[in-house]
Chain A
Amino acid sequence: MIPITWYLILGAMLFVIGVFGFFLKRNIIALLLSIEIMLNAVNLTFVAFSSGSGVVDGQVFVFFIMVVAAAEVAVGLALVIALFRNRESLDVDSASLMKW
């Protein structure tokens, strides 16, 4: 059997890739995709711990994380549409109206 440590390290790698994307990309849809990568890394960690300890609670948490991710994407993409309508650009640097 595969030790759960391997799954945890894979989850850590995916999480760091998501963090990289969040800080390096400047397209707002790419930022949302990076958040999804991070959420998936955490999901993988939850499922690995759940399977390792034989308790189903971690998988229920993953279920809730998926629901929250769906809600976040719906609202986030609505914000993207509103931003694009006002700025004609998806660059996060263009949304600097409230910057002093």
Chain B
Amino acid sequence: MVPEGLEVREEEGSNMEIHVQKKNEIELVFTISGADMSFVNAIRRVCMMEVPKMAIDDVHIIKNDSAMFDEVLAHRLGLLPLVSDSESIDGMILPEECDCEEYCPKCSVSMVLKKEGPGVVYSKDLSSEDSRIKPVYDTIPLLKLKDDQEVELEATAQLGIGMEHAKWEPTTACAYKFYPQITIGEDCQSCQKCAEACPRGVLEFDKKSEKIKVVDELNCSMCKSCFRVCESRTIDIGFDDTKFIFTIETDGSTPPEEVLIKACDVLSEKADKIIDIL
């Protein structure tokens, strides 16, 4: 891949360290040390904007007797998070890359909603032709139907990226912040005011050693409440600009680690393209 004469440097990346702090189905929190802000920001932006996921893009309304307008209903359907982990969307391609005229099984999934009133229509009432690609949550209320009202529609879900529309964003909260550095000086009076002032329980008074201790550094928002109440000016809040706390929260459609992996793939693909042109 690398053209002749082009030197490949072992980047600072070689001493980059990553520690996972918290991980569940929708949220991933990790710290990166020895990284550059521009690099971390690139990952964040790609996570939000360029990782593909499924969303309803076209709605054909056959019958809608409800009080809700067709456009509003179509918009609500578009915002539904659909399961799009790599296993479910395996083989699915972006509509731009597909050579079909309108829709084909390679680039789209069709869904049908048919319901009679009275009652609330939920996301679970949407039946998909592909058993894997369906709404993540069954309990999302879509519209309400009164007596003798009916709704019948056909929706088409396609892959897309967040750059085009927010409904294709796999992440909800995707952000990083500097790692806080809390220093407590030698002449601390142990007045405990800082521990009381902290709104996030970062500091605690240790009865044994009679000293203020940092118990939850990751939770520090660098609000400097402790700094402001400290009369002896011994506590200081700073940050390490090579260490970051990175949070990825998804809407449930894709596991957060998968979003990160796909984002890294997209980023390295872009880098490869640059090298190819050279």
Q: Do they bind each other?
A: no
- The interface of chain B, by Cβ under 8 A from chain A, is none
- The interface of chain A, by Cβ under 8 A from chain B, is none
